[in-house]
Amino acid sequence: MSDGPLVGVIGGVGPQATAYFLDMVVRLTDAARDQDHLDMVVLNHASIPDRTAFILGESDEDPGAVMAEDARRLAAFGVDFLVLPCNTAHHFVAQIEAAVPVPLVHIVDETVAEVARRVPGAAPVGLLATSGTVRAGVYQRALAAAGASCVLPDDAGQATLMRIIYEQVKAGRPVDLAAFHEVVAGVRARGAQAVILGCTELSVVAADHRLLEADRALVDSLDVLARRTIERAGRRVRG
């Protein structure tokens, strides 16, 4: 490969989010020719068992063991560091990190660090994520460590998000954008000063409808991970 590091992507969770992640990294890299871009190996492992179903106890197929094996295969391929463009999957990150000698850039930690740069430390922060991510508590812990509180959607809002994620984005169907905006408005009405898109399927929605350009208080985890990946690989973010 080239002089630069080789980035390993544990992907497929979901496949569309992984494709968007690769596209974001390419678009956001300050490059004038092919050879200025990052060398990456993307394992788009679509058949990984559902993460939320396992965390909620609805399935006993453990995606953590599969992702740890994927990490091992990528490490054997020669990657210098790993990224995992799925928030829910970060519930399994200790298992993945224990399997390999290479570091992993953590989407939750990096997203919360970005929130802290944009809003005052003690501000309430909205979290739009799968029920698996919410149950796993990964964002709540990271926000608490940063001195911020976490504002979740109400039950109806959370059900709306799960419908958008599973029945629309993952199913390749059109997204009910009005319903999405209503959930954002809901966490804002309850005090959220920033709103984390803490599910990479919601990042797909944001990218398709240019939501980040329209509203700087939305902090998209996939966008943050793409930027940190470029920097970690020693390249500059376009802009």
Tell me which residues touch a copy of itself (CB under 8 A). Answer: 1-4, 12-16, 18-20, 22-23, 25-27, 31-50, 73, 77, 166, 170-172, 238
Q: Catalytic annotation on 150?
A: no
Residue 24: CB partners within 8 Å, gap ≥ 6? 207, 222, 223, 226
Nearer residue to a copy of itself within complex by CB, 190 or 238: 238
Nearer residue to a copy of itself within complex by CB, 43 or 192: 43
Smallest gap from residue 171 Cβ to a copy of itself (A): 5
Q: Catalytic annotation on 86?
A: yes
Nearer residue to a copy of itself within complex by CB, 23 or 58: 23
Smallest gap from residue 33 Cβ to a copy of itself (A): 6
Smallest gap from residue 42 Cβ to a copy of itself (A): 4
Query: Which one from 74, 83, 86, 136 is the annotated catalytic residue?
Result: 86
Smallest gap from residue 129 Cβ to a copy of itself (A): 16
Smallest gap from residue 148 Cβ to a copy of itself (A): 31
Alpha-carbon Rg for the chain, nearest whole angstrom, is 17
Query: Which one from 25, 89, 199, 225 is the annotated catalytic residue?
Result: 199
Terminal C-alpha separation, the chain = 27
Residues noted as catalytic: 86, 199
